């Protein structure tokens, strides 16, 4: 299973739970069982999942309707008419824009609340701790606590997509731990580093009947064994703590580079670090030059460069990366590329 599978089965669970509560726990009606076979209400209700502009939750039919990062992922493919709302666009450095960023997050939370009010059949809100594919967009813990409060008030499930951020990349096992939520998410999805795809959840999201929400492998026990050994290695070698220290080292160095190069919006959580260059062309040039220097790095958004090192990435590796980055930036500056 992939991250899309994790999200889509979680969407289904949220919708099943929502309808189970609406039905007050009563059995399906004959009309529901009959109408769903031809994709009609009431058996196939017009429920929705709310997502955020800039989000990436997968490329399958349901998850693609909650993906809003790049048109090339979506064009030519039919989509559910599900609600989308704004994700904060923060200004950097954060310490210089406290009031503006607080106002931006307040605006987005008000928009979320209004959107849920006008979409009474919304079963869940899904969000990434860091909008990875959409440009490594971050928000404050206060913003995510605001989402939790609004979803509680509206009776809507809160899903956190940790497909990219889970298993230590943020400097904690789960990136949403940084938020210090008063109430935990209703579900957290995972894949990638976890060696398998799935989600853990509140008891209310457990299907009320068997045979409703599973796959061919019934949980894929072989992958679960891989996950068990992966978690054992991560714990024995303190890799989550290592990610925190390595990420902090890179972040501080990049903030220093801002003073000498047109490198802006340095942001990060653990080793989930990114920065912007002046133009998309400059970003693409840097990625190509870094590759020639022996470092594979990636882009996201329109002009961002992002780091996605392995958990075994140490301060020693970080210094190699930073040295090569410094040489490439000097080369580009002297050439007039930035």
Residues labelled catalytic = 56, 161, 192, 216
- Closest to 157 (Cα-Cα) out of 166, 167, 145, 148: 148
Strand partners, 137: 131
Q: Which single residue is written with the structure tokens 């599978």?
A: 5
- Closest to 224 (Cα-Cα) out of 32, 1, 70, 53: 1
Using an 8 Å Cβ cutoff, are 251 and 268 in contact? Answer: yes
- Closest to 213 (Cα-Cα) out of 4, 44, 3, 8: 8
Strand partners, 50: 125
Strand partners, 110: none
Q: Which single residue is written with the structure tokens 């220290």?
A: 245
- Closest to 162 (Cα-Cα) out of 172, 152, 154, 153: 172
* Strand, helix or coil for residue 50: strand
Using an 8 Å Cβ cutoff, are 80 and 128 in contact? Answer: no
Q: Which single residue is written with the structure tokens 């580079």?
A: 257
Distance CA 175, CA 173 (A): 7
């Amino acid at each position: 299973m992939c991250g899309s599978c994790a999200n889509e089965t979680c969407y289904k669970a949220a919708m099943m739970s929502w309808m189970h509560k609406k039905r007050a726990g009563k059995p399906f009606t004959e009309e529901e069982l009959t109408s769903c076979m031809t994709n009609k209400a009431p058996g196939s209700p017009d429920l929705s999942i709310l997502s955020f502009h800039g989000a990436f939750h997968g490329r399958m039919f349901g998850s693609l309707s909650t993906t809003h990062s790049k048109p090339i992922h979506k064009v030519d493919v039919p989509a559910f008419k599900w609600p989308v709302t704004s994700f904060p666009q923060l200004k950097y450095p954060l310490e210089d824009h406290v009031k503006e960023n607080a106002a931006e997050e307040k605006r987005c939370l008000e928009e979320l609340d209004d959107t849920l009010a006008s979409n009474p059949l919304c079963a869940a809100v899904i969000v990434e701790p860091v909008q990875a594919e959409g440009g490594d967009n971050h928000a404050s813990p206060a913003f995510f606590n605001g989402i939790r409060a609004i979803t509680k008030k509206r009776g809507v499930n809160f899903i956190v997509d940790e497909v990219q951020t889970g298993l230590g990349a943020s400097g904690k096992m789960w990136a949403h731990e940084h938020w210090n939520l008063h109430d935990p998410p209703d579900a957290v999805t995972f894949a990638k580093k976890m060696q398998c795809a799935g989600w853990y959840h509140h008891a209310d999201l457990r299907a009320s009947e068997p045979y409703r929400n599973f796959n061919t492998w019934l949980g894929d026990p072989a992958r679960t064994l891989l996950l068990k050994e992966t978690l054992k290695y991560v714990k024995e070698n303190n890799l989550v703590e290592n990610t925190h220290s390595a990420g902090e080292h890179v972040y501080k160095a990049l903030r220093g580079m801002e003073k000498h190069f047109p490198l802006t919006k340095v942001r990060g959580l653990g080793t989930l670090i990114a920065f912007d260059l002046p133009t998309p062309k400059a970003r693409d040039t840097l990625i190509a030059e870094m590759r020639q220097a022996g470092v594979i790095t990636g882009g996201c958004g329109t002009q961002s460069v992002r780091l996605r090192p392995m958990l075994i990435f140490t301060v020693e590796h970080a210094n190699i990366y930073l040295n090569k980055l410094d040489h490439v930036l000097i080369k580009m500056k002297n050439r007039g590329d930035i």
